[in-house]
Amino acid sequence: MPYLRLLRAGTLFSPGADLVAGLCAAGLPWTPEAIRALFASILIYAAGMVLNDHADRGEDARQRPERPIPSGQVSPARALGLGILLMAAAISLAPWPIYYAGMGMLILAYNYGVKRFAALGALIMGSLRGLNLMAAPICLSQAAPPESVQILAAAYALYIIAVTFLGIFEDEKRPDPRAVVGVQTIPVLVVPLAMFSLPEPWPATGIAILASLLFSLRLRRREMVWNQAAIRGSMTWLLLGTMLFTSLICMATERWLECASIAVCALLARRISRSIALT
């Protein structure tokens, strides 16, 4: 269980869903190289989770002492070794290693230095998820992805930038409620708009609009009580929402099996989140 918590087990479906969505949006078939890219995306994301906790072990000892490293359940040396091993495995498995090596460098830069600068750290986090969504079309063709995929990746990057800032607010004792609500409106806006870049946006865009409206109603109910627990709960829903986004991308490209598979994984992630936090 400590290692599953270190890996944020429930979040590991999400990077795979990114890869699948990019593959579907680019109209690419499943090949051995695509499957390798799928597992490479999951592994490099897992590496980022582990190395994030290794880098934050001092701060976590003060603010989140229950986490695996500060609680003594996993030693810093073992966490570092696991993170490096996962990253090396991702790069080795990738169909175009240099692409994943670049993502690995961004992960290291974020975890061990850049995150102290909030705006730059959020930009890198968003860029990483956007790059992951584009990984299949880029790595399989070693060329620029279609314009629709680039638009989806940019929207996804904005979504993750907002979630990253929300995570920063989680550590503040009295965050500004307007700022907390403001960053959460970004995913609500960008997801439905991004869906229009796809050739057949309906009914997926309608579902995205409905989900955005429901989440907006939740924001209005919680606007005056944004404590740490409320922010963490909102982050959980937004992280699960990334899989709704990628599932709808697959729906809009009429890749029904991939759409259903991501939806099932989202339900599994939600179930796991009840015992292992996603944040």
Q: What is the mean pLDDT of residues 251-278?
A: 96
Length of the chain: 279
Backbone angles phi, psi at 30, to 5 degrees: -80, 130
Closest CA to 21 of 259, 196, 201: 259
The answer on pLDDT for 63 being more than 90 is: no
Q: 251, 259 in Cβ contact below 8 A? A: yes
Give the angle 203-207-212 at the CA atoms, nearest 5°.
145
At 219, is the pLDDT very low, low, confident or very high (cuts 50, 70, 90)?
confident
Q: 197, 22 in Cβ contact below 8 A? A: no
Q: What is the mean pLDDT of residues 259-263?
A: 98
| 160-218 pLDDT tens trace | 999 999 999 988 888 898 899 999 999 999 999 999 999 899 999 999 999 999 999 88
Closest CA to 10 of 275, 279, 273: 273
The answer on pLDDT for 62 being more than 70 is: yes
Which residue reads 């991004």 in tokens? 194
pLDDT at 61: 92
Q: Give the right CATH number for 2-273 from 1.10.600, 1.10.287, 2.60.40, 3.30.720.
A: 1.10.600
Structure-model confidence comparison of residues 59 and 245, the more confident one: 245
| 84-117 pLDDT tens trace | 999 999 999 999 999 999 999 999 999 999 998 9
Q: Which long-range contacts (CB under 8 A, 24 or more apart) does 148-154 make?
A: 148/25, 148/197, 148/198, 148/199, 149/22, 149/25, 149/26, 151/194, 151/197, 152/21, 152/22, 152/25, 152/194, 152/197, 152/198, 152/249, 153/22, 154/130, 154/194
> Where do the H-state alpha helices sit in the chain?
2-7, 13-25, 32-55, 57-63, 76-93, 97-111, 118-133, 135-141, 147-170, 177-195, 204-222, 228-252, 256-273
pLDDT at 223: 53
pLDDT at 173: 82
Which residue reads 């999951």 in tokens? 42
Burial of residue 195 (CB within 10 Å: 0-12, 13-18, 19+) is buried
The full set of domain ranges for the chain reads 2-273
pLDDT at 221: 74
Q: What is the mean pLDDT of residues 19-26?
A: 98
pLDDT at 65: 92
Mean of pLDDT over the chain = 94
pLDDT at 222: 58
| 132-164 pLDDT tens trace | 999 999 999 999 999 999 999 999 999 999 999
